[in-house]
Amino acid sequence: MPMSGRNVIRLFSSDESCSWLFPVLFEDEHYLALDKMTHMAVTHSQLHPDRPSLSELIRNSIEINARWVEKRNINYLGFAYRLDFETSGISLFCKTNEARTRIGDLLGSNQECREFQCLVHGSPKDDVFTVDAKIGWVAGQPEIMRAGKRGKFARTKFEVLERFAGMTLLRCMPDTDRKHQIRAHLNYVRLSPVGDSSYGGKLLMLSRLKKNYRHRRDGTEKPLLDRTALHYSRIEFDHPYTGEKAKIESELPKDMAVALKYLRKYATGQALNN
């Protein structure tokens, strides 16, 4: 039986100066799903070598045979897919190369259901809509993708979950798996993710929501969200080994939950402050 999300794994940096706690969302003899926080990469990036990554932290644990590794008799954990640095939520790992190949075949043929939640600037006309636009690289900008007529086929379905003044919470369901697919498709239809400077988004500030907001004495203000407001909330697929339906879910993280609380309080049916 899969283990519950109450289990937690602690991962240490190679010098053990830092550590991170990751709730276990799902685990069986083939797969392990962790709840990734924001500002944590899945794999090492040559463009950002100082960023921590799940893959490196896991590799360190396997090398030293950490307690959680020894308990599970693990000697390999390979990621099933990448997740953007600022995106929070489900990060799925495979305990063997064969398990990774099998889940890769499912993901590659779109035989799974994935859901993200994203807070965006603007308000779509329809409650349900689909974006069909190819996604390709932007010359000279390896961290930016562009949706349009060039690139690989990509399709994302969107559903409005909640509307606010000037912003909308969306459920995002990608049919394909392209780099930055959801972010690029939202930018394409002028619904940029909140906090996503790469795709036209701005930070969410309480001063824009709350009338008569008082700044700190030094005049500074911390954003309600200091990152792209995108969360990987659910994946459902037929288990490659058992054939049973596997369903993994991640609750909305604290920063997005707090942001929504303030939006419900101050940005329902009213204009935002300039």
Domain boundaries, the chain: 1-109, 112-236+251-274
The pLDDT value given to residue 3: 46
The CATH code that applies to domain 1-109 is: 3.30.2350.10
The pLDDT value given to residue 206: 92
pLDDT-derived band at 63 (thresholds 50, 70, 90) equals very high
Which residues partner with 214 through β-bridges? none
The pLDDT value given to residue 219: 75
Residue 228 buriedness (CB in 10 A; 0-12 / 13-18 / 19+): buried
The pLDDT value given to residue 217: 78
Mean pLDDT of 125-152: 95
The pLDDT value given to residue 1: 39
H or E, element range at 34: strand 31-36
Nearest to 226 by CA among 207, 240, 205, 253: 205
| 207 DSSP 8-state letter | G
CB neighbourhood size of 34 (10 A)? 28
The pLDDT value given to residue 269: 60
pLDDT at 61 over 70: yes
- Cβ–Cβ < 8 Å for 239, 81: no
Percent of the chain scoring above 90 in pLDDT: 78
* Segment 21-31, tens digit of pLDDT: 999 999 999 99
- Cβ–Cβ < 8 Å for 47, 143: yes
Which has the minimum average pLDDT: 6-10, 56-60, 241-245? 6-10
* Segment 146-197, tens digit of pLDDT: 999 999 999 999 999 999 999 999 999 999 989 999 999 999 999 999 999 9
For the chain, the average pLDDT equals: 91
How many residues in total does the chain contain?
Answer: 274
For domain 112-236+251-274, give the CATH superfamily: Pseudouridine synthase (3.30.2350.10)
The pLDDT value given to residue 274: 45
Domains 1-109 and 112-236+251-274 share a fold: yes
- Report the Cα 243 to chain-centroid distance in Å: 26
pLDDT-derived band at 272 (thresholds 50, 70, 90) equals low
